[in-house]
Structure 1
Amino acid sequence: MAYIKPEILKKVKQVDLLTYLLNYQPDRLKKISHNTYCIRDHDSLHISNGLWNWQSMGIGGKSALDFLIKVDNYTFLEAANIIAENINVKAPEYVPYSEKERDKKLQIPQRAKTDQNAIDYLLSRGISFNIIKHCIDHYLLYENEYFSPSTNKVYQNVAFIGWDKKTNKPRHIALRGINQDFIGDATGSDKRYSFCIESSNPDCDTVHINEAPIDVLSQATLFEQDNKEFNHEHILSLTGIYAPRNDTKEIKIPLALQQFLIDHPKIKNIIFHLDLDKVGRQATALIIEIMKLKLPEYTCYDDPPKYYKDTNDNLCMRLGIAKVKSRSKMDNKEYTR
């Protein structure tokens, strides 16, 4: 088939990878924990919470279509037709992602012997060593090490930890690849408790909102660059955002922000620094709109990066640091926890 109808393609794109494999290729799946699977022919490719990540290759996604193209090397049309033919033979039974999943136990990724690779990586992104040391000392980040039997290689990630203030336990860990373009969450992560640098002032009434943990560190570094205490105000990561489909206005207040406001009742001002792209701009406008409607007691401000995509880009350009892929490690004294 050289052409696929739009209505069929729409159905194809709705099929997530776990649903596809459970329905049509169950022999490829291996369950490794409560709600996490790996692929038997690629053991470093994990499926959890509706998403898949192939850590050793630094790629991931949600849909079965993406998987067939990126992993099984089909063309777009070939992959779409494979899924469409399977759907035509047997309608898929979708896998529900229960609200109870947010209460499952967080699996802490293995810590490396030192945090040196993480430190070097963050320094290469322009982050202040003073802020990195603060985060390591307060167990807000560390270096995660992962060995892949399929490639016989060791991969490192920076692990950014989000804490539950009531229980004083880690509840969310965002992972960012050091030597590959991997981004993901540790199994069992609860997005209500995202990475945050809290203010040193117990009466602080302002929180700065960024998309990614690296942007939180960048925001803190920019404060330091402006001769302010890096933690004079709260800085929170949403660990990613999304834009509503079909240009609708259906969007929710991010879970991390909702929880933060519960845990910090003195907050009055919320300053958004989301990305300077279509998704970031659209999400900011809609979140502020719904905040005014549902939580009018807060004053919201939109303060995006002025010229570059995100807060870290702004910091790097300010420091004269090249783009990530061409950056080299900076000299510093070894620091281990």
Structure 2
Amino acid sequence: MGKYQKNIEAARRISVMQYLETYHPGELVRKTDKEYRTKTHSSLVITPANGKFHWYAQSVGGNNAIDYLTKVEGMNFVSAIRLLSAMTPMPVSIQAAKATPTRQHTVRPFELPAADRNTEAATAYLMHRGISPKVLRYCVNSGILYQTTRGSYRNCVFVGKDAEGVPRSAFQRCCQGGFRGDVAGSQKQYGFLIPAETETCDTVEIYEAPIDAMSGATLRQYKHDAPWRSVHYLALGGLNHQPIDYFLQQHPEVRYVSLCFDRDDPGRNFTKIVAKRLAERGYIVQDTPPAIGKDYNDYLLAARRLISMER
């Protein structure tokens, strides 16, 4: 069995209760001795005895955390596996009875990869992807972007921090090959954030990947219609509600949300789910997929070509 298949099998053994108790303990509301519901969805019933949940309002259900993440939180399958791989279930007996307590689990400690002395390979790679030097300098100087070496490969490291500025998550992207993935132990509620220049900013643009968020910032810089740091840029590291919820909790002044997800089926489906969820909470939501290409980096590269042709 391959490593990825083992990750899938391990993720299938994680229950909805384990996931919520780890990442969203405040969501759980006990209704009876046998049932829980969630604060966000009052019609979503969880039964710990059999590990099942059912969301009556949407007529969907399941029996593990993968089902919950994909059907309720709108996350794609790969992102769900990455998130759940940070939770390591302890061995349990195959013959466990229904009354057996919820399986225990541990969360891998988070530690940033060692930083290289410079960021030459990372900045060269990102400039090749169209990111402006100004945006790159800000990210490097803010400690949310640096370079690390893994074997003979140089990787970009995109860092997610908490409200106190402490790194809590990180995503790596190889400068020379196709490798990409979360750093072990990353807490997915902490997204990659380029904050607005003013604390009173009321607008956030939300992207799937850090490079897309940096592309959006670069596009605003090139358009000259507003200072490039006139809005917040948040990258989720996949299709994941958690960074959105954490960001909005920490920024109560934000009222306007632009959803800048990929122009593909997962991105469009996730946009519908998030837009509805945020609108119900009183936010003014705008659906702004890339005008050209699949994602905002495609859009940026196409825009740069057009600018070069005009010149």
Greater relative contact order structure (CA < 8 Å, 6+ sep): 1
Q: Name the counterpart of 1:69.
A: none
CA contact (8 A) 2:121 2:147 kept: yes
CA contact (8 A) 2:79 2:239 kept: no
1:145–1:283: structure 2 CA closer, same or farther, 3 Å change rule?
A: same
In 2, Cα distance between equivalents of 1:306 and 1:208: 15
CA contact (8 A) 2:207 2:261 kept: yes
Question: Alignment partner for residue 231 of structure 2, among 223, 227, 233?
Answer: 233
Q: Report the Cα offset of residue 285 of structure 1.
A: 0.8
Q: Name the counterpart of 2:110.
A: 106
Length-normalised TM-score, structure 1: 0.60
2:243 counterpart of 1:256: yes
CA RMSD between the two structures: 3.0
1:114–1:306: structure 2 CA closer, same or farther, 3 Å change rule?
A: same
Unaligned runs of 5+ in 1: 1-11, 22-48, 51-59, 64-90, 148-153, 243-253, 322-337
Aligned length: 222
Question: Alignment partner for residue 175 of structure 2, among 175, 178, 190?
Answer: 178
Question: Alignment partner for residue 198 of structure 1, among 180, 195, 199?
Answer: 195
Q: Name the counterpart of 2:292.
A: 307
CA contact (8 A) 1:274 1:310 kept: yes
Q: Name the counterpart of 2:50.
A: none
SS at match of 1:217: helix
In 2, Cα distance between equivalents of 1:237 and 1:61: 13
Unaligned runs of 5+ in 2: 11-64, 67-77, 82-93, 97-101, 307-311
SS at match of 1:193: coil
Length-normalised TM-score, structure 2: 0.65
SS at match of 1:279: helix
1:17-56 deviations in Å (ceiling 9; x for gaps): 14759xxxxxxxxxxxxxxxxxxxxxxxxxxx99xxxxxx
In 2, Cα distance between equivalents of 1:170 and 1:197: 14
SS at match of 1:110: coil
- 5 Å-filtered alignment, 1:1-337, equals 16-18=5-7, 98=105, 101=107, 105-147=109-151, 154-166=152-164, 168-227=165-224, 228-241=226-239, 254-293=241-280, 295=281, 297-320=282-305
SS at match of 1:174: strand
1:223–1:96: structure 2 CA closer, same or farther, 3 Å change rule?
A: farther
Identity of aligned residues (%): 29
Residue identity matched to 2:270: A
In 1, Cα distance between equivalents of 2:104 and 2:301: 38
SS at match of 1:191: coil
SS at match of 2:125: helix
CA contact (8 A) 2:169 2:187 kept: yes
1:279-299 deviations in Å (ceiling 9; x for gaps): 111110111112233x1x211
SS at match of 1:118: helix
1:20–1:207: structure 2 CA closer, same or farther, 3 Å change rule?
A: closer
SS at match of 2:239: coil
1:108-151 deviations in Å (ceiling 9; x for gaps): 1121221000000000000001110111111010001112xxxx
1:184-206 deviations in Å (ceiling 9; x for gaps): 11111111111010000111000
In 2, Cα distance between equivalents of 1:306 and 1:61: 25
1:67-118 deviations in Å (ceiling 9; x for gaps): xxxxxxxxxxxxxxxxxxxxxxxx899x9795x63xx532111212210000
Residue identity matched to 1:238: L
